[in-house]
Structure 1
Amino acid sequence: MANRNQEPLNVRVTPSKKDEWKTAIGDDETLAGVVRRAVDRELNNEYVHVDTAEHLDSGEDIDFTEVTTDIDLLSGQVEVLQSQLDDALTPGSMPPEDQLSEVAMRALAHIPRYDDLSDHVRREISQTHSDQLIGIKTAIEEHETRIDGSAQAIAFKMDDDESELIVRQALIYLENRTTETVQSTIADGTRHWVRDV
């Protein structure tokens, strides 16, 4: 029975063309489905031009040196900026290292783990991002996850008198000065820490 919410579209092709198309499609596809998908891809400009595809298939090595050099340069600049941001956002005197270490070890138990993400979100990250941390950032920004690794949330979970400022300093200490697998990303203007990424 036809779906009443759809409009029929008649397209005329030669019998030989129709047979050619039917032969080319898989057993689990319909000709109508392939035509719909092809029209959508054409209208959304999702096809790669044949000259580009031939160039990529030619086996020629493409020199990405300039691109990777630029990426390395940008990564270095981001690290410097992140360090400067850490200094700017954590004003005041730094507590003694033994106090910072103690707070860091207590905070560690409250940092969300990568495995805390739902199976769906982890699967999406692995399929769309080569860098899991970028995937976590995207998941937080797109509200696909409810984990909150911000200094404020971790300070709240610690349920003691440590200020958010000291917890933030302790989290930075964990990430930069220990062997714990703690990393951070900035999502929607807030820095989030995650472990075991």
Structure 2
Amino acid sequence: MANEQRNKIKLNVRVARAKKKEWKKALADGETMSSLVQRAVDREINNEYVPIEAVEQTDDTGSGEDVSQLSEKLDELHRDIAAANSKIDTLAAVGDTEDSDDTESIEELAMDILPRLPAYPRDIPEYALKDMGGRGEMSKQEYIEFIIDTLRSTDTGVAIDGSANHFAGQLREPEHKARQALLHLEQETTENVHSAIVDGTRHWMRF
């Protein structure tokens, strides 16, 4: 023990009082200032420190992958739900058609609804057309979903409603009959009427 003490060299280190207080706070249980300095110097010499940038990069990469995978799963789930809603709505529409009133009255109602249908680009706010440059590469179904959802979420006071319930209220007709008329326009005419489901409700639009 005496030999060990004689082999040690005393180093005097002058630091500011604030720095000394900071170092004291970092002391582990039973550790002295001397051992703290020695440990820090040893780590520096042996290159045992990990750069903060490397740690941050690792964390960012890992979390980024997790978020990306979660986003993909959510998108896939959204597509599955939309597909299921579309199938359910289509089956309901087929049922309505099978129980339809006479064809002539449905065709007449369809012609009454036609001029009331929201139309592209006539009924699209000018700012939306300019900002997006029109439909872009979206399909007609995708555009219906997009524009209705966008106008609902913006505080412009402008809304587009192409639902059977909307036209049934305007024309004082049963909703199922308005739906039959809209399906007739979409499937049996060349009026370029298309539909899409938005939040569980089918909306029609004329292009």
Q: TM-score with structure 1 length normalisation?
A: 0.51
The match for 1:156 is 169
Q: Helix, strand or coil: the match of 1:191?
A: strand
Among 103, 107, 110, the residue aligned to 2:113:
107
2:194 partner amino acid? Q
Equivalent position SS for 2:100: coil
| Structure-2 separation of matches of 1:121 and 1:85 | 33
Distance in 2 separating the partners of 1:148 and 1:94: 24
Picking from 108, 123, 127, the partner of 1:116 is 123
Q: Which residue of 2 aligns with 1:181?
A: 192
C-alpha contact 1:107 1:155 (8 A) present in aligned 2: no
Cα displacement string for residues 112-162 of structure 1 (whole angstroms, at most 9, x for unaligned residues):
11111101222344467412521231121232550111111112222x3x1
Amino acid at match of 2:183: I
2:116 partner SS = coil
Aligned length: 119
Q: Which residue of 2 aligns with 1:135?
A: 143
Partners of 2:203 and 2:128 in 1: how far apart?
Answer: 17
* AA at the equivalent of 1:97: T
Match of 1:170 in 2: 181
Alpha-carbon offset, residue 164 of structure 1: 1.0
- Please tell me whether Structure 1 or Structure 2 has the larger radius of gyration of its CA atoms: 2
SS of equivalent residue, structure 1 residue 192: strand
Q: Which structure shows the higher helix fraction? A: 2
Task: Tell me the SS of whatever aligns to 1:174.
Answer: helix
Letter in 2 for 1:104: A
| 3-state DSSP of counterpart to 1:139 | helix
Sequence identity percentage: 30
Q: CA deviation at 1:92?
A: 6.8
CA 1:128–1:175 in 2, change beyond 3 Å: closer, same or farther?
Answer: closer
* Structure-2 separation of matches of 1:164 and 1:95: 13
Contact 1:125-1:135 at 8 Å conserved across structures: no
Distance 1:98 1:128 in 2: 35
Q: Does 92-101 or 135-144 show the bigger shift? A: 135-144
Whether contact under 8 Å (1:154, 1:167) holds in the other structure is yes
4+ aligned runs moved over 6 Å, structure 1: none
Q: Does the 8 Å contact 1:171/1:193 carry over to 2?
A: yes
SS of alignment partner, residue 195 of structure 2: strand
The within-5 A match list for 1:44-83 is 81=87, 83=90
Question: Using the alignment, how far apart are the partners of 2:130 and 2:164 within structure 1?
Answer: 26
Q: In the alignment, residue 192 of structure 1 is paired with which amino acid? A: H
How far is 1:179 from its partner? 1.2
Moved more, 184-193 or 131-140: 131-140
